[in-house]
Structure 1
Amino acid sequence: MNNKYTLSLGFAIALSTYASTIHAAYSIDTELRSLISQHNLSGDPSRGRVIPNINSPKAQLGMRLFFNKALGGNKDTACVSCHHPLLGGGDDLALSIGIGAVNPDLLGSGRLQLSGHPNVPRNAPTTFNMSLWDAAIFWDGRIESLAKQPGMNGSVGGIRTPNTSLGVSDPQAGANLVAAQAKFPVTSHAEMRGDLAGTMANTYVWTHLAGRLGGFGEGAGELPQPEYWLNLFKQVYGTPTSQAEQVITTQNVFDAIGEYERSQTFTHNPWQAYIRGNTQALSESAKRGALLFYKPYQQGGGNCVACHKGDTFTDEKFYNLAMPQLGKGERGGADNTHDYGRGNETKLYADRFTFRTPSLLNVEGTKPYSHAGAYYTLEAVIQHHLDPAWAVANYQPNRVKAENPGIQTETMQKNTFEALYKLREDQQKGLNPLRTARLSKTSIEDLANFLRALTDPCIKSATCLAPWLPPLHEDPNGLQLEAQFKF
């Protein structure tokens, strides 16, 4: 009798525990379903958009241009120098190193600049999912859609670029935000331009580079075999009898690069699978993190959705988070060591230290984080969002300095505290949704695990990313960047 009683009691306890577990799982899934509906999420940020196929002739041409140092003024940098697919569409550095690298083909960790310091003032944003932006490109939004029509990638209503005044459409911007963006790294002396054309206008740089590729004009004779590029451009923009000047134009060069970048659209992740009905796609920790992400502060959440909205996980607006101000700065303040972000463009005090809200899609693979690459872990950047004042007071750039030798930190503390004071002003004026919040270590880990569930597995696989890498040693001019990594 006692044995039967013991067995019955044990069975009852086990059944009760199982029922509690099922109820808890049901409750969290039910709550998440409600939030998904409330925020009108489909899980597919590319829905309704036209995404180029990487195998299209235009994207294939763009890929070869993207990987080629012929577009570097000194022939030592390519677009891929700071945006390699195997490095999350970035460069794995806090601040990028453009021209003058000790080894131009070494990317990511170990890449050094001849001067001993990073020469680019900002972290390289990922080129992944560029097709999903509708309002602005770059940390400061200097490539800006004037219409900001959802789903159009800036293809309607005009685009403002650094070649025009704020709010004024650039008639030569290109077909969309990405094509417009592709034109400007080659005009930056630190990123790609180097010594080309001194202080002459951007249009001269573009014309010179097109001529270099095609063997005409100011660029004539700079490549031994320009017919390599002529044949590729004729396949996309011309006919078998087209002349170089007809098909290798500024607009065509950057239109092709833009199509390659837009083809890098990676959105198939566990969160998408969960939204589509697979309740097993997320771990329990990630589910708890999702609740924290979408819940407001008043309900014990992190209120992350205030800025990271919709299926793209960004509102494409600009905020001051008082992120550590590393590097040489971007022409801000009396000593030019501040980076005022959007304020550099608008010249408004209200916009000082504000930067574009990044998308969180694939965020796990795009470290380090912030406009200056101040943080290397998701947990650290979450903690900063929860309490910027504490984070700034306790920030130690040890890892940043170890992985980015020579990075400038002399004015970091002074400039960062100025950004923090400005954040407090913004909060008092109701211009910033950030509030101090307290979450446990476990809750922060849960949030980080939810963010990891936004990762498309393809970006972690060299095999999956192979279509976005050109065949080795294809360029007879010897300028294709054959990436080396210090893994």
Structure 2
Amino acid sequence: MQASDFPTFPPEQVKLGQFLFFDPILSGNRNISCATCHSPDHGSGDGLPLGIGEGGHGVGPKRNAGAGEDRIKKRIPRNAPALWNLGATDIHTMFHDGRLHVSDLYGNGFNSPAQEWLPDGLESVLAAQALFPMTSEFEMAGNPKENQVAGAVYDRIDNVWPILAKRVRVIPDYAEMFMAAYADVESPLDINIVHIANAIAAFEATEFQSFDSPFDAFLAGDESALSPEQKAGMALFYGDAGCAACHSGPLFTDQEFHAITLPHFGPGRTRQWDPIVRDVGHMGVSDRIEDAYRFRTPSLRNATLTAPYGHNGAYATLKGIVRHHLDPDAGFANWSPDEVQLPDVPWLQKADFIPLQDKRERERQAAAGDLEPISLSDAEVDQIIAFLQALTGTDSIKGRLGRPESVPSGLEVD
């Protein structure tokens, strides 16, 4: 990868996006920001298997589930994806199930949960993605009884965004910044949710670029950039271990969907007519039975920073998820709740692992697996992990703008 694989943005837009990324003003109750679940301190994720959204307190693995009437009512169904290199021009699909991707199906550039109500003018799939956590009750919107934003979602999804845009444009500092950053914003009244989403994406696409790893140095001709163990792991990754069949190209993802038989726990992203708690992955988007339990291939860049692993954070370590890939059937059969480090939520924990007791659902999951077992020695597994460590950036992981000390709304910065 190189800088030409990414769009460039005026510094004014990137700075504006930085403030918005860290500002809780875009949440229903003004208490959670993009950065709460995508923290630079935690590899652009939150370090949790299943996140704690609206109602929680704190950041990262120490985030708690709140208390009293405001405490969380549900865990976030899936692991918070890392943001590394999602601004690359080749990225076309977002979310674990792929429910947002580049398409002209609805005439606005994207196939998304908002369908034809997604606004025009979004500059990238990353900008489009920024809009959806704002509409989620358990992520950023909150309960409909608590605020206008959450109530608007139940009318129609696009009713949320004008409310949030108004919150931003009435703040004088934001109004001045938007007028300086965008030629089509001549007055505060011109600021809309598309400007906000595009600015957030400009920050994310700039801040989370990472292609300065030892592996990149090796590709550039520095033979000493990788240790002998990492070179052996690279040979396995691209050879007998078969990792590169899915984790391909400079982004280390084919952006396709595969069933790797991870155990299901937590609330799942249950569809409207599902009779049980489950998560069928891409099938929930495509409505094709052959897509059941398939999830998008994640990038492996900076994987050492983005634990836990899997669409639901089922494994706390790289070794755990690598071993699962090598023998998914055994991993699925032998997995226990001890593998996952869920935050303590006493009022939810009785239901956390109920899906593991559903014999028929487990049989359906096991039958859908795409991966054949591969036999590797312990030493070879260690070599693959050593190679994955060589995909960690150097200066890039320190960030560029980082966390602002304050934001124009005056709200607390996580």
The TM-score, its normalising length taken from structure 1, stands at 0.76
Q: Which amino acid aligns with 1:107?
A: V
User: What is the deviation of 1:164?
Assistant: 1.3
Aligned with residue 303 of structure 2, among 353, 357, 363? 363
What is the aligned partner in structure 1 of residue 399 from structure 2? 465
Aligned with residue 257 of structure 2, among 305, 318, 321? 318
| Rounded Cα–Cα distance in structure 2 between residues aligned with 1:235 and 1:207 | 21
Aligned: 1:303 with 2:236: no
Decide whether the 8 Å contact of 2:53 with 2:76 is kept in 1.
Answer: yes
Q: Which amino acid aligns with 1:318?
A: F
What is the aligned partner in structure 2 of residue 280 from structure 1? 224
User: What is the deviation of 1:278?
Assistant: 1.1
What is the aligned partner in structure 1 of residue 28 from structure 2? 73
What is the aligned partner in structure 1 of residue 410 from structure 2? 478
| Rounded Cα–Cα distance in structure 2 between residues aligned with 1:344 and 1:318 | 12
Aligned: 1:410 with 2:342: no
User: What is the deviation of 1:336?
Assistant: 4.5
Aligned pair count reads 396
Decide whether the 8 Å contact of 1:52 with 1:59 is kept in 2.
Answer: no
Decide whether the 8 Å contact of 2:265 with 2:355 is kept in 1.
Answer: yes
Equivalence map 1:332-481=2 (5 Å) = 332=271, 334-398=274-338, 400-401=340-341, 403=343, 405-406=345-346, 408-414=351-357, 418=361, 421-425=364-368, 432=370, 434-458=371-395, 464-465=398-399, 467-470=401-404, 472-475=405-408, 477-481=409-413
> Is the alpha carbon distance of 1:89 and 1:108 closer, same or farther for their aligned partners in structure 2, counting shifts above 3 Å?
same
Aligned: 1:108 with 2:60: yes
| Rounded Cα–Cα distance in structure 1 between residues aligned with 2:47 and 2:391 | 19
Mean Cα deviation higher: 367-376 or 125-134: 125-134
Structure 2: gaps of 5 or more residues? none
What is the aligned partner in structure 1 of residue 178 from structure 2? 233
| Rounded Cα–Cα distance in structure 2 between residues aligned with 1:404 and 1:369 | 19
User: What is the deviation of 1:478?
Assistant: 2.3
Q: Helix, strand or coil: the match of 2:277?
A: coil
| Rounded Cα–Cα distance in structure 2 between residues aligned with 1:465 and 1:48 | 19
What is the aligned partner in structure 2 of residue 191 from structure 1? 139
Decide whether the 8 Å contact of 2:26 with 2:134 is kept in 1.
Answer: yes
User: What is the deviation of 1:372?
Assistant: 0.5
Structure 1: gaps of 5 or more residues? 1-43, 148-155, 216-225, 296-300, 427-431
> Is the alpha carbon distance of 1:269 and 1:389 closer, same or farther for their aligned partners in structure 2, counting shifts above 3 Å?
same
> Is the alpha carbon distance of 1:331 and 1:175 closer, same or farther for their aligned partners in structure 2, counting shifts above 3 Å?
same
User: What is the deviation of 1:394?
Assistant: 1.6
User: What is the deviation of 1:405?
Assistant: 4.5
Decide whether the 8 Å contact of 1:51 with 1:265 is kept in 2.
Answer: no
User: What is the deviation of 1:50?
Assistant: 3.4
> Is the alpha carbon distance of 1:227 and 1:192 closer, same or farther for their aligned partners in structure 2, counting shifts above 3 Å?
same
Aligned with residue 213 of structure 1, among 161, 168, 180? 168
| Rounded Cα–Cα distance in structure 2 between residues aligned with 1:130 and 1:409 | 31
Q: How large is the Cα RMSD of the aligned pairs?
A: 2.5
| Rounded Cα–Cα distance in structure 2 between residues aligned with 1:435 and 1:454 | 25
Q: Helix, strand or coil: the match of 1:447?
A: helix
Decide whether the 8 Å contact of 2:55 with 2:65 is kept in 1.
Answer: yes
Decide whether the 8 Å contact of 1:160 with 1:170 is kept in 2.
Answer: no
Mean Cα deviation higher: 334-343 or 372-381: 334-343
Q: Helix, strand or coil: the match of 2:101?
A: strand
User: What is the deviation of 1:413?
Assistant: 1.5
Q: Helix, strand or coil: the match of 2:13?
A: helix
Decide whether the 8 Å contact of 2:293 with 2:368 is kept in 1.
Answer: no
| Rounded Cα–Cα distance in structure 2 between residues aligned with 1:379 and 1:405 | 27
What is the aligned partner in structure 2 of residue 221 from structure 1? none
Aligned with residue 123 of structure 1, among 50, 74, 79? 79
| Rounded Cα–Cα distance in structure 1 between residues aligned with 2:262 and 2:121 | 31
What is the aligned partner in structure 2 of residue 328 from structure 1? 267
User: What is the deviation of 1:412?
Assistant: 3.6
Q: Helix, strand or coil: the match of 1:60?
A: helix
Aligned: 1:142 with 2:99: yes
User: What is the deviation of 1:92?
Assistant: 0.5
Q: Which amino acid aligns with 1:440?
A: S
User: What is the deviation of 1:479?
Assistant: 1.3
Aligned with residue 122 of structure 2, among 158, 161, 174? 174
What is the aligned partner in structure 2 of residue 163 from structure 1? 114
Decide whether the 8 Å contact of 2:114 with 2:158 is kept in 1.
Answer: no
Deviations 1:232-280 (A, max 9, x none): 11111258x932111x211101010111111121111011111111111
| Rounded Cα–Cα distance in structure 2 between residues aligned with 1:64 and 1:469 | 9
Q: Which amino acid aligns with 1:313?
A: F
Sequence identity of aligned pairs in percent?
31
The TM-score, its normalising length taken from structure 2, stands at 0.89
| Rounded Cα–Cα distance in structure 2 between residues aligned with 1:157 and 1:227 | 31
Mean Cα deviation higher: 329-338 or 57-66: 329-338
Decide whether the 8 Å contact of 1:197 with 1:204 is kept in 2.
Answer: no
Deviations 1:23-66 (A, max 9, x none): xxxxxxxxxxxxxxxxxxxxx2x46423336x711011011001
Decide whether the 8 Å contact of 2:211 with 2:396 is kept in 1.
Answer: no
| Rounded Cα–Cα distance in structure 2 between residues aligned with 1:394 and 1:385 | 13
Q: Helix, strand or coil: the match of 1:467?
A: coil
Q: Helix, strand or coil: the match of 2:159?
A: helix
Deviations 1:125-164 (A, max 9, x none): 01121113523011011111128xxxxxxxx992211111
> Is the alpha carbon distance of 1:348 and 1:236 closer, same or farther for their aligned partners in structure 2, counting shifts above 3 Å?
same
User: What is the deviation of 1:111?
Assistant: 0.8
> Is the alpha carbon distance of 1:272 and 1:341 closer, same or farther for their aligned partners in structure 2, counting shifts above 3 Å?
same
> Is the alpha carbon distance of 1:142 and 1:309 closer, same or farther for their aligned partners in structure 2, counting shifts above 3 Å?
same
Mean Cα deviation higher: 326-335 or 85-94: 326-335
Q: Which amino acid aligns with 2:75?
A: N
Aligned with residue 293 of structure 1, among 237, 250, 260? 237
User: What is the deviation of 1:416?
Assistant: 8.9
Q: Helix, strand or coil: the match of 2:374?
A: coil
Decide whether the 8 Å contact of 1:322 with 1:419 is kept in 2.
Answer: no
